[in-house]
Structure 1
Amino acid sequence: MFKGKYWLKTCCLLLVLFSAASCSKWLDLKPSDGIIRQDYWNTKEQVKAAVIGTYASLLDDPTGKDRSLPEQFFLWGELRADMLAPSTGTIAEEFEVMNVNTVPSNSIVNWRPVYRTINYCNTVIDFAPDVLASDKTFTQEALDAYVAEAKAMRALMYFYLVRSFGDVPLKLKSTSSDEEIVTIAKSSQQDVLAQIIKDLNEAEPKILLTYGDNASDKGRLTRYTVNAIQADVYLWMEKYDEAVAACDKVINSRRFGLLAPSSAWYNTVYRTGNSTESMFEVQYNAQKVNDFYYMFGIGTRRFVAANRVMDQVYTSDAVFGAKDIRADGVSVRAEDGVIWKYIGKNDKDMIAPGDSYAHWFVYRFADVLLMKAEALAQKGQGSAALDIVRALRSNRNALPGTDNNPDPANVNEVSLFILEERAREFMFEGKRWYDVLRYVKKNNYENIAYLQDMIAGIVPANMVRTAQAKMLDHNSHYFPIYQYELQTNKALVQNPFYK
């Protein structure tokens, strides 16, 4: 979606928006290039550019100070789970999180990049309506679609925050000057989730079904992506009827499907991207490469796959040589545990550093299928749930050794089977911790033992008892508030476990 000169133009726009919409001090409201916000919002083209800027903000920090959001979301979704192992390049802050010892000074818990994107969204929502008066070619329908995109993106960002931190500040107005900087206390997780659903429900009827080309349909939020986010949020909220309804909107559209297994499957889905299986991918290309080669691909790689990935999650067939198509040469290189999904040129050869432009996968069609199965299981429709899972497993050539034959009438057995299938399907896509926590917290944490067992397999042996004891406090399942935020926003209080 962002290519060549267009990428450079979008970066320039982000710098303008950042100068007018960051949460630092402004001694002079007028940037050096003479552009101020009041001068900007005049044409429909500027509105479109501002909306595209919200997507560009996912790729990189325009100030060069913070992690990109895909890297942040990878760390948030995988470090606390059980599919990663440290490697020669793992840094101290990453060890802290992996060992259940995160402290407020750890920059991994810095939520500033997420709130920056939220502020870009708020800027569109606040100022785009003014353009109706200045550009007579700008229609209400076009405005509504752009605002819907911004609301959907804001909802997605808050969903990452609420699952990672619990209670978080809920800011719905843009910040553009010192006078607009206010201290904001945290809102409850329930209130934030309610706002997320409100944003998504308002966006759904107005956001576009298509933008006219495949790359944009996969690289921007569409109505179907909104439905996928709705389903995800409803699962988190344990609203299973609503989750099924949201999934069915995607499934019944018949715009997505699972590709047949083939030698080209890896390249089509992951290396090239934007396939029929894709719903929303953060788009990289030769002009803007991702960070993942330097995480996984060189001698100082920061992470490798945990031993259990091949030994237990995928397994192998020593007799007939059959394999799950998501396993060796796709998610992981079995011979040495290299995380392959983002750095493979094909199923055998590694890319060069400058070719690191595999996309970051936010939602794929398989996610919708498994979310529906999970909701059906919780509704007591185990047979229907298993039909979905087994159809997916058949498509992926999942091995018999990973089928534990759950009793369709046993809700927890079916739910655990789905959780394990999600691990196979979304390996290293930043979903594992959130999937585990969603499973564990159901019905007032009735499955806390699963988390206890998982932690025992992650941390060093001498730390197991301490880490397991921490997990018994449900507040420990959320990150601490970054210490800089506490220093600059006096209305914030530290999350309970870290006081």
Structure 2
Amino acid sequence: MKYNIKKYIPKFFVAALMTAPLTSCDDFLSIIPLNDVVLENYWTEEADVTSCVNSCYSQLETADCLKRMLVWGEMRSDNLVTGSGAPLDITQIAEENLLETNGYTKWESFYQCINRCNTVLYYAPSIHEKDPNYTEAELKANIAEVTALRSLCYFYLIRTFRDVPYVTEPSIDDGQDYRVPAMKFDEVLTHIIADCEAIKDDAVRSYGEDSELNSTRITRYAIYALLADMYLWKGDYNRCIEYCDKVIRYKQDEYEEMLQEESSLDVELYGEYPLISEAPGNSAYGGTAYTQIFGKGISFESIFELNFVDSETKQNEMVRDFYGSVSNDAGQLSGPSYFATGVEDGTNTYFRKTDSRFLTNMKENNSTLYIRKYVTEGVSYRTTVTTGGLPTVTETTRGQNVGNWIVYRLTDLILMKAEAQIQLAGNVTEGGSLSQEQESLYRSAFSCVSAVWKRANNKRVATTDTLVYDDYVTSKMSMENLIMDERQRELMFEGKRWFDLVRLCRRDGSNSRMVDKVLPKFKENTAALRIRLSAQDALYYPYNKDELRANPYLVQNPAYNNESITTNE
């Protein structure tokens, strides 16, 4: 029997990529070079590049990467507590007993993705010379794609560890030494911003009308979203707003096109922002936005998400383990009880009774607040319930845990814009007066928050609005808190909250506001926790002990040098 060897090479190469980089648990930098013969025979045509690019996405969709996206971005915040059967590593993080032995201080899964991206960047240009079907435009688009993915990985790493080794060469040579010092947070951020700026115009705008790849692959608008986020962290608020507006205008144009083609839409305008309505056409039933965004996935509001919905062979293990399976509400994580206290009688400080995000994202049972976001495929509840108890939420369950994991969506960008505008506007002068420019920025920022809030509470233009501009314009801090609170409600359980709090601390030069928000979830040892969390160094994770042993250039975060420090009194 004759076999087409070339047909099978991509599978072998992807397998090599998955095992060759970072195979040692002792050191992400002890990378086994890829087999020279395999490389020589592999990088010959466009399909080889495509296979390797796909492996970059596959790596991000592994349980190791996904769980870190959630744990690093949310676990230490005021959004999460341990649930049923939480493993020791998660319990220690939840209790702020972070040690250099904790499994979540390991970063090799992200460096594996970085190495795959570096491999594409190294070899793809040579394929353009060998394969006439691989055009220059396709080459540039692939380079833009993996450069953005590499930048996203580094962005996760610096927000978690602060200073990290910055490597841009693939593991292809026995002579390469990957034991390098950690690069400072600001330097890495500058590099990855410059990288994305250099390739943004080469990225694909669209993979075709209605193609799911417009949400599940890197597009130009995904890069804009990443740049907006990175500029927000850099403190370049004008550039942040510029890129937020590019994404928003893209969705506004898409909405206008939809209006011309369809007489009835689930998408409606909230102020100037097109969003999926929870109850389209003022329906008596809500839940449409949740169902489309988190249930079905690849919604109108999606900018970039990791795809599981159409897969028959893989599940979102992060959702299954942390939030609950399709047959069991109990996950290893849950929401703190104060999210539910007083919602029914209107005394809750987080959610109003009408807020769909309370109704659809969580479920209270026997004093446990189960997380349902991403778990259920669809929800429905009556919007006309105004007296008595909360409306009953009917869930549509999935056959498997295949909810897509969203990295960026439209409301995230709208609220980024609001945050940048308030920072740009600055403080209200003594006496409460605003300049004309400040007034414009404050009102625009408030309209961003108002749009997101109105959608969630099923409010429309004609209804009385309980979110009033004059109540928040009294100070910059009041507006900041409004935006932070809305980001918390809107992006809850999406791996954003701890990063938002770290950004707040970096901007304030103090951890005090973060500490005040986080401490209420702890029932004991709060005095020790307040002391520990007040240190700027404590915002970041320690380097894993194995990384320190393998790389002599790494210097442990000072917050974790004293092994006698504990929050257990």
Task: Report the 3-state secondary structure (helix = DSSP H, G, I; strand = E; otherwise coil) of the residue aligned with 2:101.
Answer: coil
Q: Contact 2:446 / 2:469 at 8 angstroms: preserved in 1?
A: no
**Match for residue 149 of structure 1?**
145
- Contact 1:82/1:454 (CA < 8 Å) preserved in 2? yes
Q: 2:53 aligns with which of 47, 51, 54?
A: 51
Q: Does 1:456 align with 2:456?
A: no
Give the deviation of 1:86 after TM superposition: 1.4
Whole-Å separation in 1 of the counterparts to 2:323 and 2:191: 37
The answer to whether 1:429 aligns with 2:429 is no
Report the residue type matching 1:37 in the other structure.
L
Deviations 1:234-265 (A, max 9, x none): 11111111111111111122347411222433
* Distance (whole Å) between structure 2 residues aligned to residue 40 and residue 426 of structure 1: 42
After TM superposition, the score normalised by the length of structure 1 is: 0.89
SS of alignment partner, residue 326 of structure 1: helix
**Counterpart contact for 2:233–2:503, Cα < 8 Å:** yes
CA distance in 2, matches of 1:469, 1:210: 50
Larger radius of gyration: 2
* Equivalent position amino acid for 1:215 in 2: E
- Per the normalisation by structure 2, the TM-score is 0.78
In the alignment, which of 471, 483, 487 is matched to residue 418 of structure 1? Answer: 483
Secondary structure (helix, strand or coil) at the match of 1:147 reads helix
Aligned pairs (5 A) from 1:98-497 = 98-212=94-208, 213-253=210-250, 254-255=253-254, 257-262=274-279, 263=286, 264-284=288-308, 285-291=311-317, 292-297=319-324, 298=328, 301-311=331-341, 315-316=343-344, 322-328=353-359, 330-335=360-365, 336-347=368-379, 348-349=394-395, 351=397, 354-380=399-425, 381-397=441-457, 406-445=471-510, 448-461=511-524, 463-497=525-559
- Residue 361 of structure 1: SS of its match in structure 2? strand
> Aligned AA for 1:73?
M
Task: Verify the 8 A CA contact 1:270 1:359 in the aligned structure 2.
Answer: yes
Q: Distance in 2 between matches of 1:187 and 1:394?
A: 43
Distance 2:121 2:102 in 1: 32
**1:22·1:176 contact (CA, 8 Å) conserved in 2?**
no
Using the alignment, how far apart are the partners of 1:265 and 1:376 within structure 2? 27
**Can you give the 5+ residue segments of structure 2 that lack an aligned partner in the other structure?**
1-7, 25-29, 256-273, 280-285, 380-393, 426-440, 460-464, 562-569
How far has the Cα of 1:384 moved from its partner? 1.4
Matched to 1:259, the amino acid is I
CA, structure 1 residues 252+96, in 2 after alignment: closer, same or farther (shift >3 Å)? same
The aligned residue for residue 14 of structure 1 is 14
Distance 1:44 1:27 in 2: 25
The answer (yes or no) to whether the contact 2:33–2:171 under 8 Å persists in 1 is no
CA distance in 2, matches of 1:27, 1:154: 20
Structure 2 match to 1:64:
none
> Structure 1 pair 289/402, CA: closer, same or farther in 2 (3 Å)?
farther
Moved more, 104-113 or 14-23: 14-23
CA drift of 1:300 comes to 5.9
**Whole-Å separation in 2 of the counterparts to 1:401 and 1:77:** 31
Per the TM alignment, residue 293 of structure 1 is displaced from its structure 2 partner at its CA by 2.0
Letter in 2 for 1:75: V
How far apart, in 1, do the equivalents of 2:468 and 2:293 lie? Answer: 24
Ranges in structure 1 where 5+ consecutive residues have no aligned partner: 1-7, 61-66
Query: What is the identity, as a one-letter code, of the residue corresponding to 1:492?
Result: L
Contact kept in structure 2, 1:20 and 1:36, CA below 8 Å: no
Q: Corresponding residue for 1:3?
A: none
CA-CA distance at 1:456 after TM superposition = 2.0
Q: Supply the distance in 2 between the matched residues of 1:255 and 1:52 (Cα, whole angstroms).
A: 27
Separation in structure 1 between the aligned mates of residue 239 and residue 201 of structure 2, nearest angstrom? 16
How far residue 9 of structure 1 moved from its aligned partner, in angstroms, is: 10
Work out whether residues 455 and 464 of structure 1, in 8 Å CA contact, stay in contact via their aligned partners in 2: no
SS across alignment from 1:355: coil
Q: How many residues of Structure 1 are paired with residues of Structure 2 in the alignment?
A: 475
Counterpart AA for 2:277: A
| Partners of 2:405 and 2:115 in 1: CA distance | 22
Task: Give the percent of matched residue pairs that are identical in Structure 1 and Structure 2.
Answer: 28
Q: 2: CA distance between counterparts of 1:26 and 1:382?
A: 50
1:63 aligned residue: none
SS in structure 2 opposite 1:311? Answer: coil
CA RMSD of aligned residues (A): 2.5
In the TM superposition, what whole-angstrom CA distance separates every residue of 1:429-483 from its partner, at most 9, and x where no partner exists? 00000111112221423xx32122123213332x211111112210110000011
